[in-house]
Protein backbone atom coordinates (compact mmCIF):
# COMPACT_ATOMS: atom_id res chain seq x y z
CA UNK A 1 0.00 0.00 0.00
CA UNK A 2 2.81 2.37 0.87
CA UNK A 3 4.30 1.79 -2.58
CA UNK A 4 1.04 2.86 -4.23
CA UNK A 5 0.94 5.99 -2.07
CA UNK A 6 4.52 6.81 -3.06
CA UNK A 7 3.60 6.57 -6.74
CA UNK A 8 0.62 8.89 -6.23
CA UNK A 9 2.82 11.41 -4.41
CA UNK A 10 5.39 11.32 -7.22
CA UNK A 11 2.66 11.73 -9.84
CA UNK A 12 1.33 14.85 -8.15
CA UNK A 13 4.88 16.14 -7.79
CA UNK A 14 5.25 15.85 -11.56
CA UNK A 15 1.90 17.53 -12.27
CA UNK A 16 2.67 20.40 -9.89
CA UNK A 17 6.10 20.88 -11.44
CA UNK A 18 4.61 21.02 -14.95
CA UNK A 19 1.98 23.51 -13.82
CA UNK A 20 4.60 25.66 -12.11
CA UNK A 21 6.78 25.74 -15.24
CA UNK A 22 3.79 26.96 -17.25
CA UNK A 23 5.10 25.50 -20.51
CA UNK A 24 6.10 22.24 -22.11
CA UNK A 25 9.38 20.81 -20.84
CA UNK A 26 11.92 18.14 -21.70
CA UNK A 27 12.44 15.01 -19.66
CA UNK A 28 15.75 16.44 -18.44
CA UNK A 29 14.13 19.70 -17.31
CA UNK A 30 11.45 17.81 -15.38
CA UNK A 31 14.07 15.52 -13.85
CA UNK A 32 15.95 18.54 -12.55
CA UNK A 33 12.75 20.21 -11.32
CA UNK A 34 11.25 17.20 -9.54
CA UNK A 35 14.43 15.46 -8.41
CA UNK A 36 12.96 12.13 -9.57
CA UNK A 37 15.06 9.50 -11.34
CA UNK A 38 14.67 9.81 -15.10
CA UNK A 39 13.32 6.25 -15.47
CA UNK A 40 10.65 6.84 -12.79
CA UNK A 41 9.69 10.18 -14.28
CA UNK A 42 9.44 8.69 -17.77
CA UNK A 43 7.06 5.96 -16.58
CA UNK A 44 4.84 8.50 -14.83
CA UNK A 45 4.75 10.76 -17.90
CA UNK A 46 3.89 7.86 -20.19
CA UNK A 47 1.02 6.83 -17.91
CA UNK A 48 -0.30 10.40 -17.75
CA UNK A 49 -0.02 10.65 -21.54
CA UNK A 50 -2.04 7.44 -22.00
CA UNK A 51 -4.71 8.82 -19.65
CA UNK A 52 -4.85 12.07 -21.64
CA UNK A 53 -3.49 14.42 -18.96
CA UNK A 54 -0.11 15.00 -20.59
CA UNK A 55 0.69 15.69 -24.21
CA UNK A 56 4.00 14.45 -25.64
CA UNK A 57 5.53 16.35 -28.53
CA UNK A 58 7.50 13.57 -30.19
CA UNK A 59 9.32 15.91 -32.57
CA UNK A 60 10.75 18.07 -29.80
CA UNK A 61 10.73 15.47 -26.99
CA UNK A 62 8.72 17.79 -24.73
CA UNK A 63 5.82 17.19 -22.36
CA UNK A 64 2.96 19.54 -21.48
CA UNK A 65 -0.35 19.46 -19.59
CA UNK A 66 -3.49 19.02 -21.67
CA UNK A 67 -6.95 20.55 -21.46
CA UNK A 68 -8.16 17.39 -19.74
CA UNK A 69 -6.16 18.39 -16.68
CA UNK A 70 -7.83 21.78 -16.79
CA UNK A 71 -11.29 20.22 -17.14
CA UNK A 72 -10.87 18.59 -13.73
CA UNK A 73 -10.81 22.08 -12.27
CA UNK A 74 -13.74 23.58 -14.11
CA UNK A 75 -15.46 23.96 -10.75
CA UNK A 76 -12.87 26.62 -10.01
CA UNK A 77 -15.34 29.38 -9.12
CA UNK A 78 -14.62 31.51 -12.19
CA UNK A 79 -17.52 30.51 -14.42
CA UNK A 80 -19.38 33.79 -13.83
CA UNK A 81 -16.24 35.69 -14.78
CA UNK A 82 -15.80 33.62 -17.94
CA UNK A 83 -19.39 34.23 -19.00
CA UNK A 84 -19.12 37.97 -18.42
CA UNK A 85 -15.86 38.24 -20.34
CA UNK A 86 -16.89 36.00 -23.24
CA UNK A 87 -18.71 38.64 -25.36
CA UNK A 88 -15.63 40.89 -25.39
CA UNK A 89 -13.33 37.94 -26.05
CA UNK A 90 -15.47 36.80 -28.96
CA UNK A 91 -15.53 40.32 -30.38
CA UNK A 92 -11.73 40.44 -30.45
CA UNK A 93 -11.45 36.92 -31.83
CA UNK A 94 -13.92 37.56 -34.65
CA UNK A 95 -12.22 40.81 -35.60
CA UNK A 96 -8.62 39.58 -35.62
CA UNK A 97 -8.68 35.76 -35.55
CA UNK A 98 -5.88 35.79 -32.99
CA UNK A 99 -5.78 33.99 -29.65
CA UNK A 100 -7.67 35.85 -26.89
CA UNK A 101 -6.95 35.11 -23.21
CA UNK A 102 -8.70 35.68 -19.89
CA UNK A 103 -6.55 35.74 -16.77
CA UNK A 104 -6.61 36.60 -13.08
CA UNK A 105 -3.90 37.71 -10.67
CA UNK A 106 -2.95 35.27 -7.93
CA UNK A 107 -0.01 36.29 -5.82
CA UNK A 108 2.59 37.62 -8.24
CA UNK A 109 1.46 35.46 -11.14
CA UNK A 110 -1.20 35.54 -13.83
CA UNK A 111 -3.38 32.42 -14.01
CA UNK A 112 -5.04 31.81 -17.37
CA UNK A 113 -8.68 30.73 -16.88
CA UNK A 114 -10.05 30.78 -20.43
CA UNK A 115 -9.00 31.36 -24.02
CA UNK A 116 -10.34 31.41 -27.58
CA UNK A 117 -7.72 30.08 -29.97
CA UNK A 118 -6.87 31.43 -33.40
CA UNK A 119 -7.58 29.16 -36.35
CA UNK A 120 -4.29 30.15 -38.01
CA UNK A 121 -1.68 27.44 -38.43
CA UNK A 122 1.07 29.48 -36.74
CA UNK A 123 -0.18 30.28 -33.27
CA UNK A 124 0.69 30.98 -29.67
CA UNK A 125 -1.25 29.21 -26.95
CA UNK A 126 -1.33 29.06 -23.17
CA UNK A 127 -3.49 26.39 -21.60
CA UNK A 128 -5.86 27.34 -18.77
CA UNK A 129 -4.23 26.85 -15.41
CA UNK A 130 -0.79 27.94 -16.61
CA UNK A 131 0.96 30.67 -14.59
CA UNK A 132 3.15 33.53 -15.80
CA UNK A 133 4.89 36.32 -13.82
CA UNK A 134 2.60 39.35 -13.84
CA UNK A 135 5.33 41.89 -14.57
CA UNK A 136 6.20 40.66 -18.07
CA UNK A 137 2.69 39.91 -19.39
CA UNK A 138 0.07 42.24 -20.85
CA UNK A 139 -2.58 40.56 -18.68
CA UNK A 140 -0.58 41.08 -15.51
CA UNK A 141 0.28 44.66 -16.33
CA UNK A 142 -3.34 45.45 -17.23
CA UNK A 143 -4.47 44.26 -13.79
CA UNK A 144 -1.56 45.55 -11.69
CA UNK A 145 -1.66 49.04 -13.21
CA UNK A 146 -5.17 49.61 -11.83
CA UNK A 147 -4.66 48.22 -8.33
CA UNK A 148 -4.94 50.66 -5.42
CA UNK A 149 -1.54 52.15 -4.61
CA UNK A 150 -1.06 50.14 -1.41
CA UNK A 151 -1.85 46.81 -3.06
CA UNK A 152 0.29 47.64 -6.07
CA UNK A 153 3.23 48.46 -3.82
CA UNK A 154 2.84 45.14 -1.96
CA UNK A 155 2.71 43.33 -5.28
CA UNK A 156 5.91 45.01 -6.44
CA UNK A 157 7.60 44.22 -3.12
CA UNK A 158 6.72 40.53 -3.51
CA UNK A 159 7.63 40.05 -7.16
CA UNK A 160 10.65 38.09 -8.36
CA UNK A 161 12.06 39.54 -11.56
CA UNK A 162 12.30 36.36 -13.60
CA UNK A 163 13.75 37.11 -17.01
CA UNK A 164 11.57 35.06 -19.36
CA UNK A 165 13.23 36.51 -22.48
CA UNK A 166 16.14 38.91 -23.13
CA UNK A 167 13.51 41.69 -23.28
CA UNK A 168 11.91 41.02 -19.87
CA UNK A 169 12.18 43.85 -17.30
CA UNK A 170 15.13 43.37 -14.97
CA UNK A 171 14.56 46.08 -12.38
CA UNK A 172 11.69 47.47 -10.33
CA UNK A 173 11.96 50.98 -11.75
CA UNK A 174 11.24 49.66 -15.25
CA UNK A 175 8.20 47.71 -14.04
CA UNK A 176 6.87 50.78 -12.21
CA UNK A 177 7.31 52.92 -15.33
CA UNK A 178 5.48 50.32 -17.44
CA UNK A 179 2.56 50.20 -14.99
CA UNK A 180 2.33 53.99 -14.90
CA UNK A 181 2.25 54.14 -18.69
CA UNK A 182 -0.38 51.38 -18.78
CA UNK A 183 -2.61 53.23 -16.33
CA UNK A 184 -2.34 56.45 -18.34
CA UNK A 185 -3.32 54.94 -21.69
CA UNK A 186 -5.78 52.31 -20.39
CA UNK A 187 -4.27 49.23 -22.05
CA UNK A 188 -1.16 47.10 -21.56
CA UNK A 189 1.39 45.55 -23.87
CA UNK A 190 4.24 43.08 -23.73
CA UNK A 191 6.49 42.93 -26.76
CA UNK A 192 8.31 39.58 -26.62
CA UNK A 193 8.87 40.15 -22.89
CA UNK A 194 7.17 36.93 -21.78
CA UNK A 195 7.50 34.72 -24.86
CA UNK A 196 9.94 35.24 -27.71
CA UNK A 197 8.16 35.96 -30.97
CA UNK A 198 4.85 36.91 -29.35
CA UNK A 199 3.29 40.34 -28.72
CA UNK A 200 0.29 40.75 -26.42
CA UNK A 201 -2.13 43.60 -25.73
CA UNK A 202 -4.44 43.63 -22.70
CA UNK A 203 -7.14 45.52 -20.81
CA UNK A 204 -8.41 45.09 -17.24
CA UNK A 205 -11.83 43.96 -16.10
CA UNK A 206 -12.92 46.29 -13.30
CA UNK A 207 -15.59 45.45 -10.72
CA UNK A 208 -16.51 48.11 -8.14
CA UNK A 209 -13.28 49.97 -8.77
CA UNK A 210 -11.05 46.89 -8.50
CA UNK A 211 -9.35 44.99 -11.37
CA UNK A 212 -10.60 41.41 -11.02
CA UNK A 213 -9.18 40.02 -14.26
CA UNK A 214 -7.77 40.94 -17.65
CA UNK A 215 -8.36 40.15 -21.31
CA UNK A 216 -5.51 40.01 -23.81
CA UNK A 217 -4.97 39.29 -27.47
CA UNK A 218 -1.76 37.48 -28.46
CA UNK A 219 -0.19 37.84 -31.89
CA UNK A 220 2.78 36.04 -33.40
CA UNK A 221 5.18 38.89 -34.10
CA UNK A 222 5.86 37.83 -37.68
CA UNK A 223 2.19 38.65 -38.41
CA UNK A 224 2.13 41.95 -36.55
CA UNK A 225 2.39 44.57 -39.29
CA UNK A 226 2.36 48.26 -38.29
CA UNK A 227 -1.19 48.46 -39.66
CA UNK A 228 -2.39 45.48 -37.61
CA UNK A 229 -0.69 46.85 -34.51
CA UNK A 230 -2.55 50.16 -34.85
CA UNK A 231 -5.83 48.34 -35.45
CA UNK A 232 -5.40 46.21 -32.32
CA UNK A 233 -4.46 49.23 -30.23
CA UNK A 234 -7.56 51.01 -31.55
CA UNK A 235 -9.65 47.99 -30.53
CA UNK A 236 -8.13 48.04 -27.04
CA UNK A 237 -9.03 51.70 -26.70
CA UNK A 238 -12.57 51.00 -27.93
CA UNK A 239 -13.30 48.05 -25.66
CA UNK A 240 -11.41 49.44 -22.66
CA UNK A 241 -14.32 51.55 -21.39
CA UNK A 242 -16.69 48.61 -21.91
CA UNK A 243 -14.73 46.10 -19.86
CA UNK A 244 -13.58 48.54 -17.18
CA UNK A 245 -17.06 49.88 -16.44
CA UNK A 246 -19.19 46.73 -16.50
CA UNK A 247 -21.35 47.30 -13.38
CA UNK A 248 -22.51 43.69 -13.19
CA UNK A 249 -19.18 42.00 -13.70
CA UNK A 250 -18.94 39.41 -10.95
CA UNK A 251 -16.09 37.10 -10.04
CA UNK A 252 -16.45 34.64 -7.18
CA UNK A 253 -12.81 35.26 -6.34
CA UNK A 254 -11.16 38.66 -6.48
CA UNK A 255 -7.70 39.43 -7.78
CA UNK A 256 -5.23 38.62 -5.03
Q: Which pairing describes strands 210-220 and 198-207: parallel, antiparallel, or unpaired?
A: antiparallel
Percentage of the chain beyond pLDDT 90 is 54
Q: How far apart are CA 143 and CA 187, in angstroms?
A: 10
Per-residue model confidence (pLDDT) at position 166: 94
Which residue blocks in 136-214 are alpha helix, DSSP H? 138-144, 149-158, 172-185
Query: 127-173 pLDDT, tens per residue?
Result: 666 788 999 999 999 999 999 999 999 999 999 898 899 999 999 99
Residue with the larger pLDDT of the pair 223 and 25: 223
Per-residue model confidence (pLDDT) at position 15: 87
When mean pLDDT is compared over 12-26, 35-49, 176-190, 232-246, the highest value belongs to: 176-190
Q: How far is CA 229 from CA 96, 99, 108, 117, 209, in A?
A: 11, 15, 28, 19, 29
Query: 233-251 pLDDT, tens per residue?
Result: 999 998 877 676 543 333 3
Find the mean pLDDT for residues 169-195: 95
Domains (range + CATH), the chain? 2-70 (1.10.10.10), 79-244 (3.30.450.40)
* Cβ within 8 Å of residue 253, ≥6 positions away: 77, 78, 104
Q: Is residue 231 scored above 80 in pLDDT?
A: yes
| Sign, Cα dihedral of 65, 68, 71, 73 | negative
Q: Which helix (H) or strand (E) holds 66?
A: none
Q: How far apart are CA 128 and CA 143, in angstroms?
A: 18
Per-residue model confidence (pLDDT) at position 72: 60
Per-residue model confidence (pLDDT) at position 256: 35
Find the mean pLDDT for residues 92-116: 91
Per mean pLDDT, which range of 30-44, 108-122, 137-151, 206-220 is the poorest?
Answer: 108-122
27-34 and 2-21 helices cross at what angle (nearest 10)?
Answer: 110
Q: Which of 215, 203, 211 is CA-nearest to residue 251?
A: 211
Per-residue model confidence (pLDDT) at position 54: 84
Per-residue model confidence (pLDDT) at position 106: 85
In sequence order, what E strands does the chain have? Answer: 25-26, 54-57, 62-65, 99-106, 109-116, 131-133, 188-191, 198-207, 210-220
Question: Residue 192 — φ and ψ, nearest 5°?
Answer: 60, 30
Beta-bridge partners for 201: 189, 217
Q: If phi over 0 gives left and psi between -120 and 50 gives alpha, with beta otherwise, what is residue 161?
A: beta
Q: How far apart are CA 124 and CA 118, in angstroms?
A: 8
Q: How far apart are CA 138 and CA 154, in angstroms?
A: 19
Question: Residue 164 — φ and ψ, nearest 5°?
Answer: -70, -35
Per-residue model confidence (pLDDT) at position 250: 35
Per-residue model confidence (pLDDT) at position 252: 31
Amino acid sequence: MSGHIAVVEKTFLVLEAMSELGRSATLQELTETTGLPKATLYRILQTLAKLGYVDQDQARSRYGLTLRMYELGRGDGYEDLRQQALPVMELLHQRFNETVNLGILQGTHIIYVHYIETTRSVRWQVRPGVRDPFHCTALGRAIAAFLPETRQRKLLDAMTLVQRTPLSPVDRATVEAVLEETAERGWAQDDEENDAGVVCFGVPLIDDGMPVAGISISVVKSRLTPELREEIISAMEEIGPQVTQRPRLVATRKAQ
